[in-house]
Structure 1
């Protein structure tokens, strides 16, 4: 039987979020019922709630950084029990049959993954995200949160953590590698922590030096201001890997010039507008311009285990649900150190 649960939703594009209720399906054969304890606020929540990327489904309940506790299981569930600490990230289903799904790369599902929110499930019903008290998710798209990670600090790892872990692992950040993280925000601060724990030499490239003390505390070896043109001259040809977390267009030629031969600039931030590129920035130096999107279920679990082993929770500011709209404005103003997390008990 469908159950209505309290939630915060955007009723229309660019409208403030407001308290409401949304339906949750009955717990099916392979489903787990999760009491959400914390939900992170990702910049992509703002993009989607305000229809910045288009194709918004309203009312929209954002939230794909979900940490909670299992309170019910379907009769055939084998991976989880009532009381387990679990997380849900950016998607809750995929085709399960294509080559990518079979490889554990569900985020690149040929038929398209089913987003945790702002998507239609296999029955054509809209999905609603983590700004709510409960969610029902297939056990195969649920991950276990290790006991060593506090739930509020773990919630942002389900997007911010895996979004940075995946390219850092794919491009082999580690000892002997020089890695730069562009932007020290909700994504970037986890990139610094993870790259440092992997053993890389880590540089932060930020607009100003305002956050330098934070960056070094998080594990950065170096910190440079991109607003200073001398930075691009001084660091030319320095890095094996640059991961850009910013959601504004960059001067890609300038950033590609910071790479060594065979270096890669990987984008995980997604500007709303198109960007331009002079291809000689790639041709000179056999450089790579790439993108990366979250990670599969197995890799997300691996990331959580890695973070637990190294004590890498997100830096969070826990807020009550009635401050969501204020938090959105503060995210846009870069006024958060470094991730807002909603205490869903306040919904």
Structure 2
């Protein structure tokens, strides 16, 4: 089967039309006819080979929504014609300790959708059936793509670290991840604070679920928030004064990273020890947690704020994301 895709041929290059053969469908695999695909900052990182994982030609796209067009002979839970989503992972080993424990997202040999595998910047994408999640009723397929990466990235910690509805939680960075975190936390029942350096985003942050706004460029506002938060989620990929944020945590509070800052964390041990505070991080979630997130999003009408581009305008869409102009996710549509 021939697939029409858009691929980067070298690091940092614009994508261009590219065709490849899928080969025979495995017994545990499915093919998805792509209808929508989000553009995530991770796609740019892979196109640019920021993480040293990229292989070219590189077909990005790991926020895929489409219809099942073909199922393998061993697949019984998915049917041709179902609308499904595919995120960062397109397959798992299925037998390691993490997979056996339900933490498929922590599988050491999980297959990345755009790592040594062609993703959703194409008319079709192939994946292991276990990595594909059916969209429940109440989820808008047009905007669902970013939930499969950005959405699950900020929802997963709520489940993994038992965030309570009575907790006071702050979000650093109100962008593609942060604007979803605000919505999830508000619906979860938390008191939600947005750390942002952009005055223009303050009102939007409140509309998306923040009860309070703190100007992250104002040292006095940071000092006044000392000992206030049970939990802080950092969605940014830049270096900040992490010790100042740790100071805003309550005793036993947690600073949790979902944004992949490439610079080492400059953190003093005393601020952690004195307050018995913690630092942690997490990736995307397992298929089971993705399904739970989708149900929660449907119940609470949570959806990404998105801008749409045609697949034929993919380079303009990528540059829009690269320039930091997206408010707040960009989605490709047929």
Class of the TM-score when normalised by the shorter of the 2 chains:
over 0.9
1:7 is matched with 5
C-alpha distance in 2 between matches for 1:179 and 1:23: 47
Structure 2 residue 114 is the aligned partner of structure 1 residue 117: yes
Q: CA RMSD in A?
A: 1.4
**Range with greater deviation from structure 2 (130-139 or 239-248):** 130-139
Choose from 6, 21, 24 the match for 1:23.
21
1:81-230 alignment, distance < 5 Å:
81-109=79-107, 111-119=108-116, 127-230=117-220
C-alpha distance in 2 between matches for 1:68 and 1:32: 12
Deviation per residue, 1:41-72 (Å, 9 max, x gap): 11111111101111311111111111111122
SS in 1 for 2:199: coil
Could you tell me the TM-score, scaled by structure 1's length? 0.93
C-alpha distance in 2 between matches for 1:128 and 1:104: 25
Could you tell me the TM-score, scaled by structure 2's length? 0.96
SS in 1 for 2:275: coil
C-alpha distance in 1 between matches for 2:230 and 2:169: 6
1:299-314 alignment, distance < 5 Å:
299-314=289-304
2:55 is matched with 57
**Range with greater deviation from structure 2 (172-181 or 219-228):** 172-181
Paired residues of 2:61 and 2:121 also in contact (CA < 8 A): yes
C-alpha distance in 1 between matches for 2:321 and 2:250: 33
C-alpha distance in 1 between matches for 2:199 and 2:159: 28
Deviation per residue, 1:150-209 (Å, 9 max, x gap): 112111000011000001222333421101111111111110111111111111111122
Deviation per residue, 1:5-52 (Å, 9 max, x gap): 111111100111112123323222222221111111111111111011
Paired residues of 1:152 and 1:318 also in contact (CA < 8 A): no
C-alpha distance in 2 between matches for 1:241 and 1:59: 41
C-alpha distance in 2 between matches for 1:321 and 1:272: 30
Structure 2 residue 246 is the aligned partner of structure 1 residue 256: yes
Deviation per residue, 1:88-147 (Å, 9 max, x gap): 1111112211111111111211x321100122xxxxxxx101111111222111101113
Deviation per residue, 1:260-307 (Å, 9 max, x gap): 000001000112333322212211211101101111111111111111
Alignment: residue pair count: 334
SS in 1 for 2:19: strand
**Structure 1: 5+ residue runs without aligned partners?**
120-126
SS in 1 for 2:171: strand
C-alpha distance in 2 between matches for 1:165 and 1:193: 10
Structure 2 residue 40 is the aligned partner of structure 1 residue 42: yes
C-alpha distance in 1 between matches for 2:264 and 2:244: 17
Paired residues of 1:209 and 1:223 also in contact (CA < 8 A): no
1:124 is matched with none
Structure 2 residue 317 is the aligned partner of structure 1 residue 327: yes
C-alpha distance in 1 between matches for 2:100 and 2:295: 22
C-alpha distance in 1 between matches for 2:128 and 2:186: 34
1:336 is matched with 326
